[in-house]
Amino acid sequence: MSQVQLQVGADAVATIVDDVRRYGGGGVETGSLLLTPRGEPTASVLALAGEAGVTRHRGLFVLSAAALSPLFDYAEDNDLQVRAQVHSHRFEAFLSPTDKAGNIRMHGFIAAVIPTFATPSSDVAVWGWWVFEGAGWIATHPAIVSDLNTKVLTFDADGVHEH
């Protein structure tokens, strides 16, 4: 198991869980991205997926290049890096073949999956956690949850909007 360990604010976890519950109640997956200062493990920004360029279905959550582009521009402009993606599954926390192939495949990038999207847990230890190393995904430790003030954004193909 990799030793990579992300730090996430309890406020971000609560916002992620609320977002997952909202979409999960409608029977579809959703997700968000966590941004950190360059080279740091602490997620200072939570970016919730909006609508334009975002696909949500019962077994599928996809962010188009058009949806991701404004967020990467925002990260670049603010000396941040897109560090992790968190998304939901209907039942179990696992990386599907689509998740493995379609997620950001960059060394050190973290993917987390929240199970039971209609009734998601705020206990990050029950979420699945993986890190991309070398040529594939390996299991990693859950994020460390701490008392942080996390900036919340919504992003999609129409841009980035601060809350």
Domain range summary for the chain, segments of one domain joined by +: 7-155
Q: What is the pLDDT of residues 51-68, one digit of tens each?
A: 999 999 999 999 999 999
Q: What is the pLDDT of residues 39-52, one digit of tens each?
A: 899 999 999 999 99
Q: What is the pLDDT of residues 94-130, one digit of tens each?
A: 999 989 988 889 999 999 999 999 999 999 999 999 9
pTM of the predicted model as reported, rounded to 2 decimal places: 0.95
Q: What residue has token string 């990579």?
A: 4
- pLDDT recorded at residue 101: 87
Distance CA 152, CA 106 (A): 24
Give the domain 7-155 fold. Answer: Cytidine Deaminase; domain 2 (3.40.140)
* Side chain identity at residue 114, one-letter code: I
Three-class SS of 88-154: ECCCCCCCCHHHHHHCCCCCCCEEEEECCCCCCCCCHHHCEEEEEECCEEEEECCCEEECCCCEEEE
